[in-house]
Structure 1
Amino acid sequence: RHQPLCGHPLQRRAGAGRKAKKPCTNKNQAHDIFPEYWIIKADKFNGKVSNALDEWIYFLKNSEILDTFSAKGLQQAKEKLDQLRMTEGERGEYQRYLKHLMDIASEQHTKQADIEDLLLESKKEGIIEGKLQGVVEVARNLIKQGLGNDLIAAATGLSEEEIQRLREERE
């Protein structure tokens, strides 16, 4: 038995020369396809709060949130309501305040990133400096052994002038 095909109002099967379409899901009932809606009659709410839905209904009816409320999203709704209650001037001032806070946070984030970059750069420079000190120490030891500048330069990668300067420091 063939399943009905989606994409065509008559849901006909794919015939010769046509690409087969995906079968429809078993969503044949309206409640399977459309979202569920609830009608809330806030005026019939008795004010007794016993769960999260009651907290939301209380908020919608009274435009306030009690300190004991903990329903998800209710705090954000309260903040939005507080903004809507502001005068135009207060709202503009509040928006400038929020922008100022975001600017400060952005500045702090940038400073923190710069500090991390500097620390990483310092660490890399320290490693390079440490390696250079190690090479110089090897060159000094080879000078003590009596090797020539050309051999020490080949072994360490330092220039012959740098090796000569190390010889002069030793004397």
Structure 2
Amino acid sequence: MAKTITEYISLGEDYHKVKKIYSINIFYFDIGQGEDYLYHGQNHFIGVHTKDQLVVNTKERSVIVSKLSPEIFPEYILIRTNKFDKIAVTPLEEWMDYLKRGTIRPDTMTPGLGEAREKLRYYSMTPEDRYAYDEHLNAVMIQNDVLDSAKLEGYLEGLAESRAENKEKGKAKGLAEGEAEANLENAKKMKAMGIDLEMIRHITGITL
């Protein structure tokens, strides 16, 4: 616990800058006298459901509760799997059932248990199956990387083509506008010179 605290505080800083610490302890043996399977506290522990106080054995107490500065007050959560004997209904009870028996309901919606089930399946594989599964995942990731790279390249190529096309359209539009302005200017000059309007229209394509 002391090591955890030092990770969140710099040398010389005040204790009030330490982040709140929660110590979660899972026990598969009897650590003292109490009826609940879940206790919470700092230096004494109250049952979350039964509200009774857990009397921790002297031997275990020094292990569970570290001697820390009173300004820090880490909170402890004690999970007593041997005291859980219910049918799992709530998310907490489903977790307790998993911790005690290693079972997970197939229709569970409890956060984290779906991931835990996948981990159980993975580690229950034979070494050969696990290797094949890992290779499959690597192949899928490589394929996804290739597809992502191809999509990016396609996007960049399309963007470059679109810009080039717009540039060419801009050039063509500019040339057409320049040609029209030149024809108009020539038509005005021809008119000023007294050339017949029909002749001007025939030469420039502009109606005056």
- TM-score, normalization by structure 1: 0.63
Alignment of 1:83-98 (within 5 A): 83-98=122-137
Q: Kindly indicate whether residue 60 of structure 2 is the aligned counterpart of residue 69 of structure 1.
A: no
Closer, same or farther in 2 for the Cα pair 1:101/1:133, shift >3 Å?
A: same
CA distance in 1, matches of 2:122, 2:178: 72
Amino acid at match of 1:53: L
Q: Which runs of 4+ in 1 moved over 6 A?
A: none
Deviation of residue 104 (structure 1)?
A: 1.4
What are the superposed Cα offsets for residues 109-149 of structure 1, whole Å, 9 maximum, x if unpaired? Answer: 112212221222122112211211111112321342356xx
Whose strand fraction is larger, Structure 1's or Structure 2's?
A: 2
Alignment of 1:35-54 (within 5 A): 35-41=75-81, 43-54=82-93
Whose helix fraction is larger, Structure 1's or Structure 2's?
A: 1
Closer, same or farther in 2 for the Cα pair 1:111/1:35, shift >3 Å?
A: farther
Closer, same or farther in 2 for the Cα pair 1:47/1:97, shift >3 Å?
A: farther
CA distance in 2, matches of 1:88, 1:75: 22
Aligned to 2:16: 25
Q: Which of 34, 45, 50 is the aligned partner of 2:74?
A: 34
Closer, same or farther in 2 for the Cα pair 1:141/1:7, shift >3 Å?
A: closer
What fraction of aligned residue pairs are identical, expressed as a percent?
Answer: 18
Deviation of residue 64 (structure 1)?
A: 2.8
Aligned to 2:155: 116
Q: Secondary structure at the match of 1:110?
A: helix
Closer, same or farther in 2 for the Cα pair 1:90/1:129, shift >3 Å?
A: same
RMSD over aligned CA atoms reads 2.9
CA distance in 2, matches of 1:135, 1:97: 56
Deviation of residue 39 (structure 1)?
A: 2.8
Aligned to 2:173: 134
Amino acid at match of 1:74: L
CA distance in 2, matches of 1:26, 1:121: 53
CA distance in 1, matches of 2:17, 2:112: 33
Amino acid at match of 1:76: E
Q: Secondary structure at the match of 2:128?
A: helix
What are the superposed Cα offsets for residues 67-107 of structure 1, whole Å, 9 maximum, x if unpaired? Answer: 23211111111111111101110110000011011111111
Would you say how many aligned residue pairs link Structure 1 and Structure 2? 129
Closer, same or farther in 2 for the Cα pair 1:7/1:111, shift >3 Å?
A: closer
